[in-house]
Structure 1
Amino acid sequence: MATIEECRAALDQLSVNLARADGAVRTTAALDRSLSCHITDLDTTFTGRMSDGRIQVAAASPGPPASRAQIRLSMTGEDLVALVDGRLHFAKAWASGRVRLEAGLRDLVRLRTLL
């Protein structure tokens, strides 16, 4: 099981990866949206924003998200770390229910370039 610190580090690495991206991925990552990532096995939610091609984590709090972010992710800590490390493919994890992604239709269409 991944720790809260490992999950935070994975989100930071994802932010670095998005900042290094170019083309369509860079354009999509430039969305300005609130973001939450609920780590189900740790019952912890990271909240922040996706903007300027980065993910800026503002807080980590116990339990499910207290408010509804525009982009909402939910997964185990191990799956988050594996996704960022490239050991788990997002589309397969999403299709199998290991990862949940919720957002408005327009954002989902744009986010598919990141997947």
Structure 2
Amino acid sequence: MATVEQCREALQILTGRLGEMNPQARASYFGNRSISCHVTDLGVTFITRIADDGAEPVREMAPDEPPADIGLAAKSDDVLSLAATPANIARMWMAGRVKVHASMRDLLALRRLL
């Protein structure tokens, strides 16, 4: 089982991919959206906000915060695996290892991130 810090770092790597995107494309796909990831075996949820200028640092979500626009849920080892090989998200989702809660528009945007 991975640690809380390892998961936070892995998620920071994933959101860091936004820095590689064209700023106009990033703005059109994400605008101002929040993304959370609940790490089920650690009982912690991380959140970040994606804005026109990139992503905010990944941080633990406060209990009283509203739900994110895009929500992921996975075990800690799967979070690390997803960061190492983002292209496997569809396979992990089909196997039930990653759960995604989002609108269709946000699912398409998430695909660009990963």
What letter corresponds to residue 79 of structure 1 in structure 2?
D
Q: TM-score, normalised by structure 1?
A: 0.77
Give, in whole Å, the separation in 2 of the partners of 1:12 and 1:53: 15
Identity between Structure 1 and Structure 2 (%): 36
Root mean square deviation, CA, Å = 3.0
Counting only pairs closer than 5 Å after superposition, residues 1-115 of structure 1 correspond to structure 2 as: 1-22=1-22, 26=26, 30-52=30-52, 54-57=54-57, 59-61=59-61, 67-86=66-85, 89-115=88-114
Give, in whole Å, the separation in 2 of the partners of 1:73 and 1:111: 10
Give, in whole Å, the separation in 2 of the partners of 1:66 and 1:27: 24
Secondary structure in 1 matching 2:91: helix
Distance 1:28 1:80, change over 3 A: farther
What letter corresponds to residue 107 of structure 2 in structure 1?
L
Give, in whole Å, the separation in 1 of the partners of 2:38 and 2:29: 20
Give, in whole Å, the separation in 2 of the partners of 1:14 and 1:43: 20
More strand, by proportion: 1
Aligned pairs, number = 114
After superposition, the C-alpha distances for 1:35-79 in whole angstroms (9 at most, x for unaligned) are 21100010000122122363324631588x853211101011111
After superposition, the C-alpha distances for 1:63-104 in whole angstroms (9 at most, x for unaligned) are 8x8532111010111111111112871110011110011111
Structure 1 residues not aligned, in runs of 5+: none
Runs ≥4 residues deviating over 4 A: 22-30
Q: TM-score, normalised by structure 2?
A: 0.78
Structure 2 residues not aligned, in runs of 5+: none
